[in-house]
Amino acid sequence: MEGFYAEDLAAIHAEGFGALGAAAAEVVADALGEGIAGARVADIGCGAGALAAPLSSAGAEVWGLDLSPALLEIARRRAPRARFRQGSLHELEIPPVEAVCAIGEVVNYMADARAGAAALRRFLEQAAASLRPGGLLLFDAAAPGRGSSRSFTEGPGWAVGSLSEETDQLLVRTITTFREMEGVWRRTQEVHRLALLATDMVLDALEAAGFESEVLPGYGALSLPPGLPVYRAVRKRS
């Protein structure tokens, strides 16, 4: 989708912002244990493959989905044994799997205008239908209190600045990238809108979809900022 993790932001995200997916992959691997070989994992909003690559290397059968063709191109290189396709989480049917993941505010992004509370409920119902009893659902969701902020990060041949503004259940994030290409610096900008989802509402939706769930402060040793809780849920056995 044009304007959503296009070439420059996708490349920068892949190089400098993979810690979240990598930490989540460790949580999934721990949950699957010795059964990881051959385990089927749905990686919704897979991005550049930060979660898919280590799980695929460990023997899991990863199925990834993302809106961004540029991110998917990188993911296919990083996890050549995984399967990827372009699309929205709001129009997918998740195949039968042992784990469903949506890491990095995937359920919040309004690049697909259907995002919001009703769409989250539909996603959770689909996740429950795809999982066996005891199967894992792992995701994070930006909530009210995510907060307005500014950030700036740079690496070899690139820099990125972000301005986030929270207003009335919405977070608007303006991202400006600078990337050196053949000796010339290129500037691009994207504006991302995220629907903020209250924690109590998410927990109620998980319960209604047939999950037992808990709220975590991060993925393993990686703590997340305020307003970005992690939900670890398992499909109920009865």
Give me the chain's average pLDDT, please.
95
Tokens matching residue 31 = 């949950």
Mean pLDDT of 202-220: 97
What beta strand segments (E) does 78-223 contain?
Answer: 83-86, 97-102, 131-140, 149-155, 158-167, 170-181, 184-195, 211-216, 218-219, 222-223
* Structure confidence by residue, pLDDT tens digits, 74-84: 999 999 999 99
- Report the percentage of the chain scoring pLDDT > 90: 92
Provide φ and ψ at 168, rounded to 5°: 50, 65
* Structure confidence by residue, pLDDT tens digits, 217-231: 999 999 999 999 999
Banded pLDDT at 4 (limits 50, 70, 90)? very high
Burial letters 10-32, b for 16+ CB under 10 A, else e: bbbbbeebbebbbbbbbbbbebb
Bigger pLDDT: 161 vs 238: 161
Mean pLDDT of 127-145: 96
DSSP 89: G
SS3 118: helix
CA gyration radius, the chain: 17
DSSP assignment of 13-42: HHHH--HHHHHHHHHHHHHHGGGGTT-EEE
Percent helix, percent strand, percent coil in the chain, to nearest 5: 30, 35, 30
* Structure confidence by residue, pLDDT tens digits, 39-74: 999 999 999 999 999 999 999 999 999 999 999 999
Residue 19, pLDDT above cutoff 70: yes
């919704």: which residue's tokens?
A: 44
Contacts (Cβ under 8 Å, ≥6 apart) of 197: 107, 108, 116, 117, 120, 141, 142, 143
- Report the percentage of the chain scoring pLDDT > 70: 99
DSSP 115: -
DSSP 236: -
Residue 1, pLDDT above cutoff 50: no
